[in-house]
Amino acid sequence: MKSLIVLRHVPFEDLGVWEPLLIQRGYKVCYYDMGVDELEMLSPEQIDVLVVLGGPIGVYEQMSYPFLNAELQFIRERLQAQRPILGICLGAQLMAQALGATVDSMGHKEIGFTPLQLTDVGKTSVLSGLTSDIPVLHWHGDQFAIPTGAESLATTTLCPHQAFALGSYALGLQFHLEVDCNRIEQWLIGHAVELSQAGIDPNLIRSQATHAQAKLQQAAETVLKRWLDALELP
């Protein structure tokens, strides 16, 4: 059985709709909760696939959240070994910083379900199925710069850097493809303060999730299948 380690920052931001697919593909899924579980027992090079999920903190907050230092080093070693790694939101930002790119506040929030605009490279990448009629979930106030040597795959008006890839082994996504729209209430409760501060009505997100669910889940599963297929793992 292939190993898949997930670095998780808040309980409700998990693998979502991707988890059943990964189990079906023969992966043993194991979560490590950052700030609680230690990474010292793991070898960043020996894991078959590493997934780094989102969370409501910034990569630049190491003084407030010291576990980020160990997590960044773990991700850096994984990238140096060119072993399969997928980052979502904060996870993608951690990947970018580990690769030497900057991560900064955008000065505004991007929260809600809206489509992407794929770059020319993105249109021939694993994201090619994320057409303009498929809204994806955005939930962030920071953005990464595209790391040196990586290819930019997608953009939006509010955030020009939405996805990057390094070869077939590293994929960083600023947006949330993994979200299970049937469990959006957990996101609304968990991020209630952020929504209130941003002046966003939870009912809007709830309605968007209902309308996006069918197309988004199918597209999200296709993206993951294509990425896994490209890894050519035994």
> Tokens in use for 143?
């953005």
Name residue 201's amino acid: D
How many CB atoms are located within 10 Å of the residue 58 CB?
18
Cα angle 184, 190, 192; round to 5: 95
> What is the DSSP annotation of 41-53?
T--TTT-SEEEE-
Catalytic residue numbers?
A: 89, 176, 178
> Tokens in use for 88?
């979502």
How many CB atoms are located within 10 Å of the residue 20 CB?
12
Q: Taking each helix axis from N to C terminus, what angle separates 67-80 and 90-98, rounded to the nearest 10 degrees?
A: 70
Cα angle 24, 43, 152; round to 5: 70
Largest CA distance in the chain: 48
Those residues whose C-beta lies under 8 Å from the C-beta of residue 143, and which sit 6 or more positions away, are 93, 103, 104, 106, 159, 160, 161, 174
Burial classification of residue 157, based on how many CB atoms lie within 10 Å of its CB (0-12 exposed, 13-18 middle, 19 or more buried): exposed
